[in-house]
């Protein structure tokens, strides 16, 4: 008896613009004008970005699951990526 191989999910990547602001009471807040509902808060920029990625992933998966079109600002990455700045934490 030949076993059928399970379907392998296709992994898609998208670039989503984020705005990250420092909060007066401490920590950071990330939002996106392109993806309504994306709100993430963390103690550091890196933590905030990580949380924002998880929220964005769930929102995009919901769009796809329900057959809704993605907002036009959300795009797959191009062959050549743009220069980006990454946060690093250093103990002084």
Q: Domain-by-domain residue ranges, the chain?
A: 19-65
Q: Indicate the helix (H) or strand (E) that contains 39.
A: strand 39-42
Say how far apart CA 55 and CA 35 lie, in whole Å.
10
pLDDT band at 41 (very low <50, low <70, confident <90, very high): very high
pLDDT band at 82 (very low <50, low <70, confident <90, very high): low
Predicted local distance difference test score (pLDDT) of residue 5: 60
Q: Indicate the helix (H) or strand (E) that contains 64.
A: helix 45-65
Predicted local distance difference test score (pLDDT) of residue 85: 77
Give Cβ neighbours of residue 16 (< 8 Å, ≥ 6 apart): 32, 34, 35, 38, 56, 60, 73, 74
For 32-51, what is the mean pLDDT?
94
Strand order in the sheet with 39-42: 19-22, 28-31, 39-42
């Amino acid at each position: 008896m030949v076993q059928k191989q399970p379907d392998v999910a296709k992994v898609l990547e998208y670039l989503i613009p984020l705005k990250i602001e420092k909060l007066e009471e401490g920590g950071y807040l990330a939002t996106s004008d392109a993806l309504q509902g994306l709100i993430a808060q963390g103690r550091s920029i890196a933590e905030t970005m990580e949380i924002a990625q998880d929220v964005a992933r769930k929102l995009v998966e919901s769009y796809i699951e329900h057959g809704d079109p993605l907002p036009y600002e959300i795009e797959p990455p191009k062959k050549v990526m743009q220069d980006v700045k990454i946060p690093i934490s250093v103990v002084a």
